[in-house]
């Protein structure tokens, strides 16, 4: 871009790139975005659309989507003043980061973690205090606390289970971090439905500096509908709500949410299928020579191979799209793939076995 024009823009733009999904978003077997392999049943889609037809499409939705907020608050068992809904949890991350960071402030981010965190911090001209995971990709809890205190960071961002490592923090560890730092602690629970650990929602009442983030894009299989939620103590939530972009949740998203929550047994069945497949895949992969399989607590598995780019390209050539996460710190030659349908998982196994 013309140097003169870039001089007029936010200087932080020079340090970030646009969000990319390497390898694209189309494939016969698509395992690269941690989505659910199960779409909603057609009958449920029709019921949702029938309800949506009754709405006034020429009118704005509510400034805050009260119906969606109330439905989710009832579902998780917290007061509605503790809940905010957004157009996907990425949008909520922008809101929360705007509320918590500004030029010169410090944020603790364990690395590797979801790339958007660092990007938002840089955009807001804040300083990232990066705390590396252990060699087996587990969180280094004492170091997170120590660095947050030493650096006087006012914000700590934790993704648990973490993307891209698939390792989790226990409820006790989250409680310890939140109580020992003088910071707002954001716990991104995008993959919590697949986890062995309990949700940090249990800590909301006793922890005034805690924010819990959820997405409906993974276990709830609504990535295309764009729904996310944040939860916090009502006083903190009132502050976080200030930078929220108004009207970003459509009535269609609210209606879809209520139908999916009313039929939550379908989500539970899908989660149990994925967890069974996770065990089956992990065990089968461990038997393949030359592959290291990391412990997984989410709907995706991390493996280390001898040449990740080569395996990525070979799989892509076979119509299987996984994610090459080798560029992340500590994840040299690692690939990430989410659990798909049984036959998709079998195909991936077959192709990896053939490489042996």
User: Site size for ligand PMP, by CB under 6 A?
Assistant: 13
| Tokens matching residue 303 | 């493996």
Structure-token match 């659910």, residue found: 36
Instruction: Round to the nearest angstrom and report the end-to-end CA distance of the chain.
Output: 46
* Inter-residue contact 185 to 191 (CB < 8 Å): no
Q: Which stretch binds ligand PMP (CB under 6 A): 11-19, 84-92, 135-143, 245-253?
A: 84-92
Q: What is d(CA 315, CA 317) in angstroms, rounded to the nearest whole number?
A: 5
For residue 159, the minimal CB distance to ligand PMP (Å) is 4
Q: Which stretch binds ligand PMP (CB under 6 A): 87-95, 130-138, 178-186, 334-342?
A: 87-95
| Tokens matching residue 204 | 């909301």
* Inter-residue contact 239 to 245 (CB < 8 Å): no
Q: What is d(CA 90, CA 22) in angstroms, rounded to the nearest whole number?
A: 18
For residue 135, the minimal CB distance to ligand PMP (Å) is 22
Nearer to ligand PMP, 290 or 329 (CB): 329
Give the per-residue contact string, 150-189, with ligand PMP (x = CB under 6 A; - = no).
Answer: ---------x---x------------------------x-
Give the per-residue contact string, 99-118, with ligand PMP (x = CB under 6 A; - = no).
Answer: ---------------x----
Q: Which stretch binds ligand PMP (CB under 6 A): 62-70, 86-94, 325-333, 348-356?
A: 86-94
Contacting ligand PMP (CB under 6 A), which of 37, 65, 68, 88?
88
Q: Which of 206, 274, 227 is closest to 68 using CA atoms?
A: 227
Q: Burial level of 38, CB count in 10 A (0-12/13-18/19+)?
A: middle
| Residues between 202 and 241 with contacts to ligand PMP, criterion CB under 6 A | 215, 217, 223, 228
For residue 15, the minimal CB distance to ligand PMP (Å) is 21
Q: Burial level of 295, CB count in 10 A (0-12/13-18/19+)?
A: middle
| Tokens matching residue 16 | 């970030």
Q: Which stretch binds ligand PMP (CB under 6 A): 41-49, 85-93, 239-247, 318-326?
A: 85-93
Nearer to ligand PMP, 88 or 110 (CB): 88
* Inter-residue contact 210 to 185 (CB < 8 Å): yes
For residue 114, the minimal CB distance to ligand PMP (Å) is 4
Contacting ligand PMP (CB under 6 A), which of 90, 125, 127, 258?
90
In what helix (H) or strand (E) does residue 268 lie, and over which residues does it extend?
helix 264-286
Task: Catalog residues that contact ligand PMP under the rule CB under 6 A.
Answer: 34, 88-90, 114, 159, 163, 188, 190, 215, 217, 223, 228
């Amino acid at each position: 871009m013309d140097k003169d024009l870039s001089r007029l823009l936010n200087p932080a733009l020079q340090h970030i790139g646009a969000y990319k999904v390497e390898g694209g978003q189309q494939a016969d077997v698509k395992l690269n975005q941690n989505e659910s392999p199960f779409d909603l049943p057609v009958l449920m889609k029709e019921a949702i659309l029938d309800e949506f037809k009754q709405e006034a499409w020429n009118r704005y939705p509510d400034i805050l989507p009260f119906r969606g907020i109330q439905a989710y608050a009832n579902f998780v068992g917290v007061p509605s003043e503790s809940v905010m809904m957004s157009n996907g949890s990425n949008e909520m991350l922008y809101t929360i980061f705007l509320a918590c960071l500004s030029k010169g402030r410090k944020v603790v981010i364990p690395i590797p973690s979801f790339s958007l965190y660092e990007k938002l911090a840089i955009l807001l001209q804040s300083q990232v205090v990066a705390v590396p995971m252990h060699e087996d990709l587990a969180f280094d809890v004492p170091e997170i606390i120590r660095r947050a205190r030493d650096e006087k960071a006012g914000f700590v961002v934790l993704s648990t289970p973490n993307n891209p490592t698939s390792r989790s923090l226990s409820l006790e560890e989250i409680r310890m971090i939140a109580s020992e730092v003088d910071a707002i602690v954001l716990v991104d629970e995008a993959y919590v439905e697949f986890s062995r650990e309990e949700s940090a929602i249990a800590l909301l009442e006793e922890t005034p500096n805690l924010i819990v983030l959820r997405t409906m894009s993974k276990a709830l299989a609504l990535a295309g509908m764009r729904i996310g939620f944040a939860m916090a103590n009502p006083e903190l939530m009132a502050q976080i709500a200030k930078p929220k972009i108004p009207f970003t949740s459509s009535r269609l998203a609210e209606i879809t949410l209520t139908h999916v929550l009313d039929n939550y047994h379908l989500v539970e069945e899908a989660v149990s299928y994925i967890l069974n497949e996770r065990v089956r895949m992990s065990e089968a992969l461990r038997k393949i020579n030359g592959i290291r399989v990391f412990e997984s607590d989410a709907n995706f598995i991390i493996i280390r191979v001898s040449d990740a780019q080569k395996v990525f390209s070979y799989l892509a050539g076979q119509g299987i799209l996984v994610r090459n996460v080798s560029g992340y710190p500590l994840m040299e030659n690692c690939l990430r793939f989410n659990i798909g349908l049984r036959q998709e998982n079998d195909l991936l196994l077959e192709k990896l076995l053939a490489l042996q």
